[in-house]
Amino acid sequence: MSPAGTLTQDLIGQWRLVSRIDLDAAGQRHIDPFLGADPSGFLVFGPEWFAAQFMKADRTSTAAPATPTVPPGAGNNTSAVGGYDAYFGTYTVDTQASEIRTTLLGALTQGNVGQTFTRRVAVAGSTLKIILATNTTSGVPITRTLTFERV
């Protein structure tokens, strides 16, 4: 974990997604139907802005929904369209709480624009972990852990 006061600086850079794991309270893994079990992803943090892109590994059978939105009750989550999700905006870091608050100024899905999401974050060496509480599309509460490596 980053020492107090350096988390903001440690985030700056380019990050490649290594894994995205969704677990319920019993430890059972849930696979996101929009991005699948092993999506690829890329995340960039500048001093004030960030951008994120995620893609389902196999998009050959993924149809875009007619009106993509964040699933009801999804909470701290964005929406993918056709197996792809992308958004950008500004962020602030609460070093004391090890949290990041992102405000989406642009997003693939219009309903995500203007939303603010709070996530726990930790940087250890060249590894970034982002942890958030959200729900599956069927409403099951899960903890999502995204692990990135610096590129």
Res. 23 pLDDT band, cuts 50 70 90? very high
Residue (of 140, 106, 141, 102) closest to 120 by Cα position: 102
pLDDT of residue 65: 53
For the chain, domain boundaries: 7-150
SS3 assignment for the chain: CCCCCCHHHHHCEEEEEEEEEEECCCCCEECECCCECCCEEEEEECCCEEEEEEECCCCCCCCCCCCCCCCCCCECCCCCECCEEEEEEEEEEECCCCEEEEEEEEECCHHHCCCEEEEEEEEECCEEEEEEEEECCCCCEEEEEEEEEEC
Return the residue matching tokens 């939303």.
115
What pLDDT does 26 receive?
Answer: 98
- What gap in Å lies between CA 96 and CA 82, rounded to an integer? 38
Type of residue found at 144: R
Which band of pLDDT confidence, cut at 50, 70 and 90, is reported for residue 63?
low
Task: Quote the pTM value.
Answer: 0.87
User: What distance in Å separates the CA atoms of residue 31 and residue 23, rounded to the nearest whole number?
Assistant: 9
CATH class of 7-150: mainly beta
Rg, C-alpha atoms of the chain? 15
For residue 33, what are its two tokens?
């139907």
Q: Is the pLDDT confidence value at 151 over 50?
A: yes
The CA distance from 81 to 13, in Å, is 26
96-136 pLDDT, tens digit each = 999 999 999 999 988 889 999 999 999 999 999 999 999 88
